[in-house]
Structure 1
Amino acid sequence: MTYLVTGATGRAGRHVVAHLLRDGHRVRALTRDPARADLPGVEVVRGDLTDPGTLEEAFAGVTGVHLLTVGGDDYATLTTGPEIVALAAASGVRRVSVLWNGVPGPVEEAVEGSGLEWTVLQPTDFMGNTLTWAERIRATGVVDEPFADVRTAVVDEGDVGAVAAAVLTREGHAGRHYPLTGPEALSPREKLALIGTAIGRPLTFQELSRDQARERSRQAGLSAELVELLLSWHGDPPPEAYTVTSAVRDVLGRPARSFASWAAEHAAAFR
């Protein structure tokens, strides 16, 4: 059986690929630029989720699909969910794991209305997103971000990949929504302190205003939709964003990894 991973070169997608390979499954990776994929042992195919006409080859002969809900350079919410799901069904796909982007959208609606065995994965925030701080930490030891003391229950993207692989290849997960978290809720200031502990160096958090954060995100090329979604999610998160769940343990039979453990493993990136 072959499993298709969309977003296979992304922060969580690489872990989905790795766990499927580790369990002995054939993996096909969808990317807009196969030459840059760097995924040994994987069949890499070209395709773009924003253009369903490019996906027929990728879906052919696939048993399960790990599906993103955003696409394009601006990571905008996909509006092509109905076309993608119709193609999956016509191609004989049985199972789909859906990685949400913070709010339900057209992909989730299409999948949940189909006859496929679907599971929606709802991570709050990836621990690996703090890697965007690495250059600043190495250069100055100062991180400037908004919402210094707002906590979210961040999850190791490796755990997300493991859960995605499990729900694609095992029975008992159809029709479920899994809010995926780590074992604790942490603020950006607390995460920075744990990184400092991991690298043996004191670090400083400098808080940005909401307007400063908005302008920086726009200058980075993020869509207005995504900018406002991120500001809302991180500045005034819903209860599910900071509520610790047992979903990782329930699916994998082991505890979710802590941020301290993640920081220790990735310490070299911050030194």
Structure 2
Amino acid sequence: MHLITGATGNVGRPLVELLVAAGAPVRALSRDPEKAAAALPASVEAVRDGAEGPGTFPLEALEGVRTVFVNHAAVGDRTEALLRQAAEHGVRDVVLLSTAAALDEANPVGAHHRELERLVRESGLRWTALRPGVFHSNALAWAEGVRTDGTVRAPYGAARVTPVDERDIAAVAARALLDGLDGLGEGSALAGRTPVLSGPEQLSTEDQVRILGEALGRPVRFEELDPGAWRAGLVAAGVPEWVADGLAGHYARAAAHPVEVSPVVEEVTGRPPRPFAEWAAAHAAAFGGASAGEAPARR
């Protein structure tokens, strides 16, 4: 049995679908199991995450579980409790959704995830910590501006990153979990590793805006924002200051030192990672366009 936290999220949902397609039993932990059950394949067992406080975790969720996917965004400050109780209840493998920011010693988001990776390493479980870079879906933050006046407003237009598709992150996580459940001895070939996951190409922010416009069939304008003003806007919108600092630092670094493409997705899945253009075409409706498979609106 695989226990998936964050099962209805951008990575969790395709991960669950891949595990189910492989014939694996899946349990989804959710604050709203009825809603999760409606959103996920019928064979998935959705259980309530009703525990409160950093030292608690619902033990019934771990019954019969052998592998766990940990998304800290879903588990929060109970990650250490989950790992401790997982080890006590016969779980063998854990896969952590970390971040490529962990490579940057000066990045507070990276420091936060390095601490999570430490907890995983010291859990007594076989572990893998996946380090994806910028998600394709991060571009959804631009959707309102594109719909309103066809403009993306962001800092560091020249920052070159390697956006990765959430489905590719899920595919690597699925391989690690399935190998951990079915394999013998050392388990997954990813065990004990912190692989960086990326898309197939380096793209600047301006490149992504151009590709988005191509998917929409109309120009999308890029407007460079002052980094300080952008950061202040994030904080005003409720983003914690340390997260805003981490995001600003990441793009500032990428402007000076472009992020490198990683081969891991293709090595693990046997196919190239999905390009941003494919994601943009599939999600064009969010930006006021016609998604892939639909006829574009006439103007």
Which has the larger displacement, 84-93 or 158-167? 84-93
Contact 1:49 1:71 in 2 (8 A): no
1:187-226 to 2 correspondences below 5 Å? 187-226=204-243
After the TM superposition, which parts of structure 1 deviate over 6 Å for at least 4 consecutive aligned residues? Answer: 238-241
Hey, what's the Cα distance between the residues in 2 that align with 1:201 and 1:125? 25
Identify if the C-alpha distance between structure 1 residues 14 and 22 changes in structure 2 by more than 3 Å, giving closer, same or farther: same
Q: 2:253 aligned to 190, 214, 236, which one?
A: 236
Deviation at 1:12, TM superposition (A): 1.3
Equivalent residue letter for 1:68: N
Larger % of strand: which?
1
* TM-score normalized by the length of structure 1: 0.90
Equivalent residue letter for 2:80: P
Match of 1:92 in 2: 90
Q: How many residues align?
A: 265
Match of 2:23 in 1: 24
Match of 1:39 in 2: 40
Equivalent residue letter for 1:17: V
Contact 1:81 1:108 in 2 (8 A): no
Hey, what's the Cα distance between the residues in 2 that align with 1:183 and 1:52? 40
Q: Percent identity?
A: 39
Match of 2:144 in 1: 135
Which has the larger displacement, 118-127 or 83-92? 83-92
Match of 2:276 in 1: 259
**Secondary structure of 1:57's match?**
helix
Deviations 1:129-180 (Å, cap 9, x if unpaired)? 1122222212211111111110111101110011101111123221111100
**Secondary structure of 2:219's match?**
coil
Hey, what's the Cα distance between the residues in 2 that align with 1:35 and 1:129? 27
Match of 1:59 in 2: 62
Deviation at 1:10, TM superposition (A): 1.7
Contact 2:156 2:205 in 1 (8 A): yes
Structure 2, unmatched stretches of 5+, are 102-109, 180-187, 290-299
Hey, what's the Cα distance between the residues in 2 that align with 1:167 and 1:49? 29
Which has the larger displacement, 58-67 or 153-162? 58-67
Identify if the C-alpha distance between structure 1 residues 132 and 173 changes in structure 2 by more than 3 Å, giving closer, same or farther: same
Hey, what's the Cα distance between the residues in 2 that align with 1:88 and 1:67? 11
Hey, what's the Cα distance between the residues in 1 that align with 2:156 and 2:53? 32
Hey, what's the Cα distance between the residues in 1 that align with 2:257 and 2:3? 29
Deviation at 1:106, TM superposition (A): 2.9
Which has the larger displacement, 247-256 or 43-52? 43-52
Match of 1:75 in 2: none
Identify if the C-alpha distance between structure 1 residues 26 and 49 changes in structure 2 by more than 3 Å, giving closer, same or farther: farther
RMSD over aligned Cα atoms: 2.2
Deviations 1:188-220 (Å, cap 9, x if unpaired)? 111010011111110001111112111211122
Please identify the structure whose Cα radius of gyration is greater. Answer: 2
Identify if the C-alpha distance between structure 1 residues 241 and 178 changes in structure 2 by more than 3 Å, giving closer, same or farther: farther
Deviations 1:8-66 (Å, cap 9, x if unpaired)? 12211112112111211121112233344332422222326963413322222211111
Contact 1:124 1:241 in 2 (8 A): no
Structure 1, unmatched stretches of 5+, are 73-77
